Amino acid sequence: MLQDLPDAGAVRDSARRILSSEEFQFGPRSDRGLFDGLLEKLRQFFDALGSLAETSPALAWLIIGACVVVLGLIALHMVVVIRRAIAASRAPGGAPAAAAARREVAAQILERAREAAATGDIPGALTLYLRASILGLDQRGIQRLVETATAREYLSLLRKRPDERTLFERLLAHYEPAVFGRRALGPEPMKDVDALARRLTGEAA
């Protein structure tokens, strides 16, 4: 098989002829779109590879093998990146920076809820307590934030986490009558709301 291979000079001449041909002039062409240009380059590459195969089959197969290896490595890298991204999205709390941001937001909302309660805005305070609790569940990896879900729908989403479901249900027992029914809440129920929200956000054990 080795005796069928052309000498080194013939291979160099063939490669020089192919690479200097019009097909390998990669200058910009304004009259073609990017996608059409890429397809044309691929066609030119395979045409040139076919020409090379006529003069040096071994070199042509070597180039094909290298292309296959490179494409395989690219595909493997894409799979690894996608799997890591999926794993990170499913990890409790998500990425560290995102988790820290959510902790800060939940803590800020709790403070705003306490300020609203201190001024007598009970419905506003309860709404903020509920929002902080939902963000806290997301932050702790219990239940990811679903912006379109109602408070009652969160109870269904928490069916596999009975402890958090119980806390959330107790919070709703205060929230719904006061916000929707305009029922007054005294200091003791509001203390209970604050304690429930703190546990749901992870601020208190």
What Cα–Cα distance (Å) separates residue 131 from each residue in 43, 44, 78, 114, 154? 57, 59, 37, 13, 12
pTM over 0.75: no
Q: Where are the domains of the chain?
A: 7-90, 96-201
User: By the 8 A CB rule, do 151 and 172 touch?
Assistant: yes
What Cα–Cα distance (Å) separates residue 181 from each residue in 34, 35, 75, 95, 153? 61, 61, 58, 40, 19
What Cα–Cα distance (Å) separates residue 146 from each residue in 10, 118, 138, 154, 172? 67, 29, 9, 9, 17
Domain 96-201 falls under CATH 1.20.120 = yes
Nearest-angstrom CA–CA distance, 22 and 121: 77
Beta strands in 112-177 (DSSP E): none
Please report the pLDDT score of residue 97 as a whole number.
Answer: 47
**What is the crossing angle of helices 187-201 and 96-118, to 10°?**
180
Residue the block writes with tokens 């129920």: 189
- Per-residue pLDDT of the chain (205 residues), as tens digits, is 445 555 555 655 665 665 555 555 555 444 445 566 666 676 677 667 666 666 777 776 677 777 777 777 787 777 776 776 665 555 444 444 455 555 568 889 999 999 999 999 999 999 999 999 999 999 888 989 888 888 899 989 999 999 999 999 999 999 999 888 888 888 899 999 999 999 999 886 5
Residue the block writes with tokens 């990896």: 141
Q: Which of 37, 80, 45, 76 is nearest to 63 (CA)?
A: 45
Please report the pLDDT score of residue 162 as a whole number.
Answer: 93
